[in-house]
Amino acid sequence: MKVCLIMAVSHAGVTAHIRDSFLQRLEALAPKATVDQFVLPRDGPPFCLGCKQCFIKDMDACPHYGTTGGIWKAMLACDLLVFILPTYVFGVPGQLKTLLDHFGGRWIVHKPSPQMLTKRALIINQAMGAGLGSTVRQLRSNLLFWGTSCVRALTTRVMEMHYDLVSPRVINRLNQQIDREIIRALRGSPRPGFKAKALYRGMALGQRIIKRSQDKKGQTTTSDYTFWQQQGWLKGQFPWKQKA
C-alpha cells in the first residue's frame, strides 16, 4: 500500500506526535506500506499568485509547479491520502490552504484527474476545543471536488497545548480509530462515489452550455472544454465507464 501523508504544520507539537503515532501504527499493521511525506510549509509552495495559468492552460503552467507537481503526482500514485492537521481559527492552517489553492485547477469543474475517483482519503484533525467541524468541512470540500470517492475524518479535542498533558484516554481512543482506518484502507480501493459521479455528469452538461454561450459571443473555446472533449466525457464516456 502506498500512502501520501501531508503534514499541515512543521512545529513539533501535538500534531507531530499524532503523525508519529500514525506512522508507528501503519508500520505495525501494514509493514510493506511505503510513505511519501510532505511537511508544510517546508515542502509546500509559496502563496498562490492568482495568475490563473492553471485554469487558462494547465497545472504545469503554474510558476510553482516545481513544488506542487511532485506533491500532486504522489497524491495520484497513492492508495491512501492522509492529511494530519490542527485547527487554526476554525479552519485549516494557512500553509495547507495555500497548497489547496494551487490545486483548484484539478477540481471537477476544470481539469480533474480521474485517478482521484478511486482514492481513499483520511483526515486526522486535532484542536484544543471548538472548530473541528468547520476545519474538516473545508478540507472535505476540496477532496470532494477533486473527485475523491471515500473521505474519512477522525477528530479529537485534546484540550491541552502540550502532548504530555493530553489525557491518555483521548490518545488511546484516537489510536484505536487510526487502527480501524488503516485496516479499512488495506481492503482495497473504493468505487467511484455517487457525489463525484453526479458532479462529473453535471459539469459535462455545464461545459456544453458554456460552449454554446461562448460560440454565440464569438469567444475562444476554453481549455477546460477542450480537455473534457479530449477525454470523451462530453459524450458520456466517463472514467468509471471506460475499461482499463
Residue 203: closest CA among 140, 115, 116, 111: 111
Taking domain 2-185, whether its CATH number is 3.30.160.70 is answered by no
State mean pLDDT over 34-55: 97
Q: What is the pLDDT of residues 112-145, one digit of tens each?
A: 999 999 999 999 999 998 999 999 999 999 999 9
Is 111 within 8 Å of 224 (Cβ atoms)?
Answer: yes
The rounded mean pLDDT for the chain is 95
Cβ-based neighbours of 184, under 8 Å, separated by 6 or more: 120, 152
pLDDT of residue 243: 63
Instruction: Calculate what percentage of the chain has a pLDDT beyond 70.
Output: 99
Cα angle 229, 233, 238; round to 5: 155
DSSP string, the chain: -EEEEEES--SSSHHHHHHHHHHHHHHHH-TT-EEEEEETTTTS--------HHHHT-GGGSTTHHHHHHHHHHHHH-SEEEEEEE-BTTB--HHHHHHHHHTGGGSTTS---GGGGG-EEEEEEEESSS-HHHHHHHHHHHHHHHT-SEEEEEEEE---SSGGGS-HHHHHHHHHHHHHHHHHHTT-PPPPPHHHHHHHHHHHHHHHHHHHHHHHHTPPPPHHHHHHHHHTGGGT--GGGS--
Q: What is the pLDDT of residues 1-22, one digit of tens each?
A: 999 999 999 999 999 999 999 9
pLDDT of residue 244 exceeding 80: no
pLDDT of residue 231: 96
pLDDT of residue 74 exceeding 80: yes
Ordered by start, the domain boundaries in the chain are 2-185, 194-241
State mean pLDDT over 17-45: 97
